[in-house]
Amino acid sequence: MPKDSIDRMVDEWAASDGALDVSALQVVGRLFRTAGHGQSAVVEALRPFGLSYADFDVLNTLRRRDDPGGTHPRDLAETALITSGAMTARLDRLERSGLVKRHSDPEDRRAVRIRLTKAGADLAAKALDAVLVADEDILSPLSPAQRRTLAALLKKLLLHAETG
């Protein structure tokens, strides 16, 4: 297998300071580099739709939840791990674009719920298809079994990082 930039970095550290254990860079460095490539691929996939990843996330969260009564903005903010103020700005932009619609919450007149418009649902579906193509391209060197193994290992790392 040919050497990549991480192999070269590890080789340089070994030549510079053989006592230094930089083996973690072989995993973490590759995770970071691969994540960067994946993010770039998704951004490029969304560009033709005029969507940021954040907008894509809101639209497809609404689509996935398919709540007939609409979704509370606070629930969307919690899912996206952002403040309610940041979500309000995001929803304002999506509403101006005709992709979402706010309506009164029948259970709480002070609250609103968010629903996708037909245009929002159509755009969300097309954007998701494009993102899934980009994801498949990133994962194309891996067999189905390798993907399952990698997913399980990444889940283990993520759970450790998120729960301590």
Would you say the C-alpha torsion 56, 60, 61, 62 has a positive or negative sign? positive
At 110, the pLDDT band (50, 70, 90 cuts) reads confident
Domain count, the chain: 1
Indicate whether 153 belongs to any domain.
Answer: yes
Indicate whether 21 belongs to any domain.
Answer: no
Indicate whether 23 belongs to any domain.
Answer: no
Indicate whether 137 belongs to any domain.
Answer: yes
Residue 60, domain CATH = 1.10.10.10
Per-residue model confidence as pLDDT tens digits over 65-105? 999 889 999 899 888 878 888 899 999 999 999 999 999 88
Per-residue model confidence as pLDDT tens digits over 46-70? 999 999 999 999 999 999 999 988 9
- Going from the C-alpha of 80 to that of each of 73, 88, 120, 123, 150, the distances in angstroms are 11, 12, 18, 19, 24
Q: Is the pTM value of this prediction over 0.95?
A: no
